[in-house]
Structure formats: structure tokens, C-alpha cells
Amino acid sequence: MYARRRHVYFAMMGTCIVLFVLAWAVVRIWSVPAAVGMCVVAMVIPPVAAVIANRRGPEDRWWDDPSGDPQSDEWWDELDGKKRPGP
């Protein structure tokens, strides 16, 4: 899952760069409004790519899931206030 999200992120960011370069190297010669429109689309891509790259997959471990290490889980529970410290 992580590799697929990473590939999608890099594809989206590559598309963003290509749109910027094409807008101002090629498209502006024929139509400045079209070049500006391409840049607006390219401007929206990075936040969307970040959301896609950072979303949690169904098999990804969430931050508060038990890790399987009893000592570590006990320590985190104590820090989070879920469990009182022992004597």
C-alpha cells in the first residue's frame, strides 16, 4: 500500500512540474489565459498529492494501536493517561 501511495504521489508531483513547464515554455506563446489556467491546476495538485500520500490504508498501523510489545504499550498508556503508574 505504501509503495502505491508513493508512486501516485510522485506521478502527481511530476504532472504538476510538467504543467508548469509546458504552461510557460509552450502554451503561453498561443494563449496566456490557458497557461494561467494550467498553472492554477498545477497549484492545486501538491496539496491533493500530500493528502493522498499521507492517508491511512486499511492495513496501516494507526498511532494509538497496540504495537504488540507489552512494555512499550504499557509505557504509552501511562503517558496518555489511560493507566495510572504502578507502585
CA distance 31 to 37: 10
Helices (H), the chain: 2-22, 28-30, 32-54, 70-80
pLDDT of residue 2: 73
Helix (H, G, I), strand (E, B), or coil: what is residue 31?
Answer: coil
Q: What is the pLDDT of residue 61?
A: 60
Mean pLDDT of 55-82: 73
Distance CA 36, CA 24 (A): 9
| pLDDT tens per residue, range 7-58 | 999 999 999 999 999 999 999 999 999 999 999 999 999 999 999 888 876 6
**Between 70 and 49, the higher pLDDT residue:** 49
CA angle 45, 63, 85 (to 5 degrees): 155
The band of 72, judged by pLDDT with boundaries at 50, 70 and 90, is confident
pLDDT band at 63 (very low <50, low <70, confident <90, very high): low
